Amino acid sequence: MKPRKIREGVFWMGAVDWERRLFDALIPLPDGTSYNAYLVQGSEKTALLDTVDPSKAEELLEQLKNMPRIDYIIAHHAEQDHSGSLPLVLRKYPEARVLATAKGVGMLRDHLLIPGERFQAVEDGQALSLGGKTLRFLHTPWVHWPETMSSYLVEEKTLFSCDFFGSHLATTDLYADEARVYEPAKRYFAEIMMPFRAQIQKNLEKVEALELSLIAPSHGPVYAKPEFILSAYKDWVSSEPRNQVIVPYISMHGSLQAMVNRLVGALVDRGVQAEPYDLSVTDIGKLATAMVDAATVVFGTPAVLGGAHPHVVSAAYLADALRPKALFATLIGSYGWGAKLAEQVQGLVSHLKVEFLPPVLCRGFPREEDFKALEVLAEAIAQKHRERNLS
């Protein structure tokens, strides 16, 4: 890819990673991703905003081949998909200074072993004049690391937001197609941002105080209509969930499948949206996305050596780590000779601020009384949702 002009003196410079299917050796990338760097040229100075993943360093260097001088490299975030090519860029431009938050300076030195004299820490609200173009730095901690910041190009009303408002989406579209980017952006929020909802709300207030014509994140396309992604984020970080239940489960011999089918049907009959997620095949990113809005999480597991199935343990650990805004949780389970399934799963989600409803457990394949207990559970969930006026 060649540099792409966004505004006069402002260019997208990065790489589209069409083939990447796993991030951090954990997060599935069904739509690939991009690593966005940006170049801002003033009449006196030039700044490169972020770099790219080391696997795409040559693509960035090729785009920089006709750029004789860079004065500043703005490192919004120390994670290697944005900073990993920094040593190579510094080698090409020995006069360049790296600007980051104070915490960012320390983390970049630790991760990339860059000498300390190459850095300059910047304060929240500090301005940098490039000559006719002014960058103002906004500290935006915990989106999604503690050292992160954004840059606001005053004259062009453009926010370079790094991971904030990003999406893992490989595309040649420079600007966001709202219908296409919504789900990847929501998935990105769920997987990366959701644990920090309270901090994100504070950072949203700082961003909303700006006059914006563009938001340019470091993953995915640029938002030419900033209100689209700002409105989506306000919805995702809001305190109230939807009238939705998700059921992450495993069925080894059909017992749990029968229980899940009955519970989902009973919830739908009561006006509750319910979606089962078979953990033997479910993409964890899709499950995380479903957690953004769900009011209730029902884990379903057979007993495996007296405990929950490992896939369900993993799903419970994921929910506890992501800390969605769910209000209620419970468990349905099947066992052969005894188990403490509910106690184990409840312990795994100790960081969730949820009311744990009475579980439904059966020995072997569910009988009529077990199906009746699932109907009772469905009614209890529906009643809880009605009491909260969830829509």
Same domain, 173 and 93: yes
Spell out the residues 6+ positions from residue 97 whose beta carbon is closer than 8 angstroms to its own.
71, 72, 73, 118, 119, 120
Instruction: Decide if pLDDT at 248 tops 90.
Output: yes
Q: Is 52 a member of any domain?
A: yes
Same domain, 64 and 155: yes
Same domain, 8 and 141: yes
Whole-angstrom Cα distance, residue 361 to residue 300? 10
Indicate which CATH number applies to the domain containing 117. 3.60.15.10
Whole-angstrom Cα distance, residue 81 to residue 54? 7
Query: 292-313, pLDDT tens digit by residue?
Result: 999 999 999 999 998 999 999 9
Q: Is 374 a member of any domain?
A: yes
Same domain, 154 and 211: yes
Same domain, 123 and 263: no
The residue from 237, 255, 286 where one domain ends is 237
Q: Are 87 and 64 in contact (CB under 8 A)?
A: no
Same domain, 138 and 10: yes
Same domain, 171 and 270: no
Identify the CA nearest to 291 among candidates 265, 312, 315: 315
pTM: 0.95
Domain enclosing residue 249, as ranges: 242-384
Q: Is 340 a member of any domain?
A: yes
Whole-angstrom Cα distance, residue 284 to residue 191? 9
Tally of CB atoms within 10 A around 41: 18
Whole-angstrom Cα distance, residue 333 to residue 363? 9
Q: Are 320 and 297 in contact (CB under 8 A)?
A: no
- Alpha helices, DSSP H, located in the chain: 57-63, 80-83, 86-92, 102-112, 178-188, 197-208, 226-237, 255-269, 284-291, 310-322, 341-348, 368-387
3-state helix, strand, coil in the chain (%, to 5): 35, 25, 35
- Own/partner pairs for 61-70, CB < 8 Å, 24+ apart? 61/85, 61/88, 61/89, 61/92, 63/1, 63/2, 63/3, 63/13, 64/13, 64/89, 64/92, 67/39, 69/93, 69/95, 70/46, 70/96
Instruction: Decide if pLDDT at 209 tops 90.
Output: yes
Whole-angstrom Cα distance, residue 157 to residue 76? 18
Domain count along the chain = 2
Same domain, 160 and 15: yes
**pLDDT (0 to 100) of residue 373:** 98
Identify the CA nearest to 168 among candidates 195, 187, 140, 148: 187
Sign of CA dihedral 82, 221, 153, 186: negative
Q: Token pair 């829509």 is at which residue?
A: 391
Instruction: Decide if pLDDT at 378 tops 80.
Output: yes
Instruction: Decide if pLDDT at 62 tops 80.
Output: yes
- Give Dmax over CA atoms of the chain in angstroms: 79
Q: What is the mean pLDDT of the chain?
A: 97
Same domain, 247 and 232: no
Tell how many helices (H) and how many strands (E) occur in the chain. Answer: 12, 21
Q: Is 117 a member of any domain?
A: yes
Q: Is 24 a member of any domain?
A: yes
Spell out the residues 6+ positions from residue 106 whose beta carbon is closer than 8 angstroms to its own.
147
> For residue 150, which phi and psi values (nearest 5 degrees)?
-125, 165
Query: 258-294, pLDDT tens digit by residue?
Result: 999 999 999 999 999 999 999 999 999 999 999 999 9
**pLDDT (0 to 100) of residue 306:** 87
Q: Is 326 a member of any domain?
A: yes
Q: Token pair 């403490």 is at which residue?
A: 340
Identify the CA nearest to 362 among candidates 279, 272, 260: 260
Query: 144-193, pLDDT tens digit by residue?
Result: 999 999 999 999 999 999 999 999 999 999 999 999 999 999 999 999 99
Q: What angle do CA 165, 168, 171 make, to 5 degrees?
A: 105
Q: Is 389 a member of any domain?
A: no
Whole-angstrom Cα distance, residue 174 to residue 344? 47
Instruction: Decide if pLDDT at 338 tops 80.
Output: no
Q: Are 248 and 300 in contact (CB under 8 A)?
A: yes
Same domain, 232 and 257: no
Indicate which CATH number applies to the domain containing 325. 3.40.50.360
Q: Are 352 and 329 in contact (CB under 8 A)?
A: yes
The residue from 187, 203, 237 where one domain ends is 237
Same domain, 264 and 300: yes
The residue from 215, 237, 259 where one domain ends is 237
Whole-angstrom Cα distance, residue 141 to residue 139? 6
Same domain, 349 and 294: yes
Query: Per the structure block, which two tokens stand in for 68?
Result: 């004789």
Q: Is 391 a member of any domain?
A: no
Please state the rounded mean pLDDT for residues 14-33: 94
> What Å distances lie between residue 187 and 5, 31, 180, 207, 316, CA to CA?
28, 11, 12, 21, 18
